[in-house]
């Protein structure tokens, strides 16, 4: 096993105007499951490929354990990679697919057989060892690809969106299996996904990237409860956090008819660059329905109610928002507010409800920098 360190690692593609990965500083502990997450084009797969040796490092260094592997060939890095595409040999059995890399490396036949059987037992593939890939389901094929990595007994697992080709139900099932498997094997794992739900449910820690720049690293709870900036706040969580640009008036964040009190600590942290504004965020589940309008409430006009059995979500808009230039909503450039409500007390379409943010569950960010402000 081994730790992994990115030391200001940078990748600039030929002809590119800006780095695909820009001075990435990241330490991954021995045995840790770290998830790299972000939107398409953020540099997460490039970071993984730099670690694998499949992309050049233009500046900075990469370490596996205490060994500088920046210029080491991929085959000599003692890593195993699982891709989105299973890339199984169709003419080989499951057993031969899993043991093929060991065979090429000249590993004795008896040892290959032992390792393959051990991996198959871990992955519940024992009864399928003599089948060809075409006789397997998508989830079974992905487990074979996992098995091929496991039998190599690498120091580091690298996984590049391995669940993307599976249907929704199988994806949920398989992500649980992968997380359990990693904890059982204890191998340092770097996992790339664009799905923040996968990141929250699988990783010991999460690293969020945007435009090649690391935004925040932390546990799932830290990313959810204390996002470092507006981007992380809007990216982590499903449904997404409601965010809006508010004006500051008499110690309150005000937008149209919405009026939310701010703490003295937050007000003292503002600078002249903020120009009397803040970005205020609150999650759909951080709201309580109020009996009526008043100090600290946000009026929401109901457009749609989504029933999910144990939960219900109101999709609406800030009352009177059509006259405002600023938007308050969930998702980029959205004016649609999402509120989680009691499914037994659902408002009618067109009704205006008043909600208040629970104490300690609002998030305030600098209007100038987008960074989190103290509360």
Domains of the chain in start order, with CATH, are 4-233 (3.40.50.300), 239-366 (2.40.50.140)
Q: Does residue 176 surpass a pLDDT of 90?
A: no
Percent of the chain with pLDDT over 70: 98
Q: What is the mean pLDDT of the chain?
A: 91
Closest CA relative to residue 224, chosen from 278, 283, 312? 283
DSSP letter assigned to residue 272 = G
pLDDT of 333-366, one tens digit each? 678 999 999 999 899 999 999 999 998 899 999 9
- Which of 10-49 are b and which e, b meaning 16 or more Cβ less than 10 Å from the residue's Cβ? bbbeeeeeebbbbebebebeebbbbbbbbeeebbbbbbbb
List pLDDT tens digits, range 242-274. 999 999 999 999 998 888 999 999 999 999 999
What are the start-end ranges of the E strands in 196-263? 205-210, 213-218, 242-249, 252-255, 258-261
Q: pTM for this one?
A: 0.90
Tokens of 289: 């329905």
* Cα separation, 13 vs 19, whole angstroms: 7
Residue 310 has pLDDT above 80, yes or no: yes
> Is residue 109's pLDDT more than 80?
yes
Q: How confident is the model at residue 198 (pLDDT cuts 50, 70, 90)?
A: very high
User: Which pLDDT score is estimated for 323?
Assistant: 64
């Amino acid at each position: 096993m081994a730790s992994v360190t990115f030391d200001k690692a940078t990748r600039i593609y030929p002809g590119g105007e800006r780095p695909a990965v820009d001075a990435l500083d990241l330490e991954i502990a021995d045995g840790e499951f770290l998830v790299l997450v972000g939107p398409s084009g953020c540099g997460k797969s490039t970071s993984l490929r730099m670690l694998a040796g499949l992309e050049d490092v233009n500046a900075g260094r990469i370490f596996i354990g205490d060994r500088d592997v920046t210029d080491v060939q991929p085959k000599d890095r003692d890593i195993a990679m699982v891709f989105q595409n299973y890339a199984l040999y169709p003419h080989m059995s499951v057993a031969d697919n899993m043991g093929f890399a060991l065979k090429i490396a000249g590993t004795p036949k008896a040892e290959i057989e032992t390792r393959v059987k051990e991996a198959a037992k871990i992955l519940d593939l024992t009864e399928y060892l003599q089948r060809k890939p075409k006789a397997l389901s998508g989830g079974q094929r992905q487990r074979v690809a996992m098995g091929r990595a496991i039998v190599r007994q690498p120091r580091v697992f690298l996984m590049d969106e391995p669940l993307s080709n599976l249907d929704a139900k199988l994806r949920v099932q398989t992500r649980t299996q992968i997380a359990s498997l990693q904890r059982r094997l204890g191998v340092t794992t770097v996992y790339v996904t664009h799905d923040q739900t996968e990141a929250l449910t699988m990783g010991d820690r999460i690293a969020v990237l945007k435009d090649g720049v690391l935004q925040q690293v932390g546990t799932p709870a830290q990313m959810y409860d204390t996002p470092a900036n507006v981007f992380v706040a809007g990216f982590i969580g499903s449904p997404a956090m409601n965010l809006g640009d508010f004006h500051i008036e008499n110690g309150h964040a005000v937008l149209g008819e919405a009026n939310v009190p701010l703490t003295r600590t937050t007000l003292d942290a503002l600078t002249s660059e903020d120009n009397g504004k803040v970005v205020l965020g609150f999650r759909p589940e951080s709201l309580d329905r109020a009996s009526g309008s008043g100090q600290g409430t946000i009026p929401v006009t109901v457009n749609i109610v989504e029933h999910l059995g144990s939960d219900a979500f109101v999709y609406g808009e800030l009352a009177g928002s059509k006259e405002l230039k600023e938007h308050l909503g969930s998702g980029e450039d959205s004016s649609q507010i999402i509120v989680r409500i009691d499914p037994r007390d659902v408002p009618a379409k067109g009704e205006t409800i008043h909600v208040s943010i629970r104490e300690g569950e609002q998030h305030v960010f600098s209007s100038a920098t987008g960074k989190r402000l103290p509360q």
